[in-house]
Structure 1
Amino acid sequence: MAKIKIPPVLRPSVGGEKEVQAGGEDVGAVLRALASEHPATQTQLFGADGQLNRYVNVYLNDEDVRVLNGLDTSVGESDTLVILPAMAGGV
């Protein structure tokens, strides 16, 4: 199972955990497994079209999955996914 690091803003949706594990052969499958286990994350991660919300960044071992194969990027047992919601605002 891949390790998923959960940002503070999503932790209430996963019972306060900083890190969870989920299985899947690619990034999409791992994130869908996370959403299946923790339904509140579904709309936080995915849009109605099933793609990542544009304000959600996902990194696989420090590489942005958008520059790899997106949700189709292969994931191994020892890989780590990091979910980082984009921040907006400023002066």
Structure 2
Amino acid sequence: MPDISVVLPSILQPLAGGQSVLTASADAPRTVASLLDAVTGDYPVLARRLRDETGALRRFVNIYVDGDEVRRLHGLETEVAPGQEVLIIQSVAGG
């Protein structure tokens, strides 16, 4: 069964047990929201860093599916197919 890879930036890796890539099995397309639920299930601090208490993507978190930012697609309802790569980027505010 193909996996979907979620690539984490170095700043978020400590919240995922030091892993740089989290994977979820997928035999069919799944939404970004369900993918995040799957890969952050064991990492509640990471889950809270990515989404707020309403489940919305935090403003400073950008998620890309095969290079396209999900906010420009269908947000958390964007479909991800098996074999695709999801990249999470956390914006760093300047001083």
TM-score if structure 1 supplies the norm length? 0.91
Instruction: Give the unaligned 5+ runs of structure 1.
Output: none
| Cα displacement (A) at 1:23 | 4.1
> Cα deviation per residue 1:7-57 (whole Å; 9 max; x = unaligned)?
111101111111110246111100111221322211100111111001100
| Cα displacement (A) at 1:83 | 0.4
Match of 2:69 in 1: 64
Deviates more, 1:66-75 or 1:21-30: 21-30
Match of 1:40 in 2: 45
More helix by share: 1
CA RMSD, aligned part only? 1.2
Distance 1:16 1:50 in 2: 24
- Aligned-pair identity in percent equals 31
The amino acid that maps onto 1:42 is A
Match of 1:15 in 2: 17
SS at structure 1 position matched to 2:13? helix
Match of 2:86 in 1: 81
Distance 2:38 2:53 in 1: 17
1:2 is matched with which residue: 4, 19, 26?
Answer: 4
More strand by share: 2
Instruction: Give the unaligned 5+ runs of structure 2.
Output: none
Sort the Cα spacing of 1:35 and 1:42 in 2 relative to 1 into closer, same or farther, 3 A.
same
Moved over 6 A (4+): none
Distance 1:74 1:16 in 2: 27
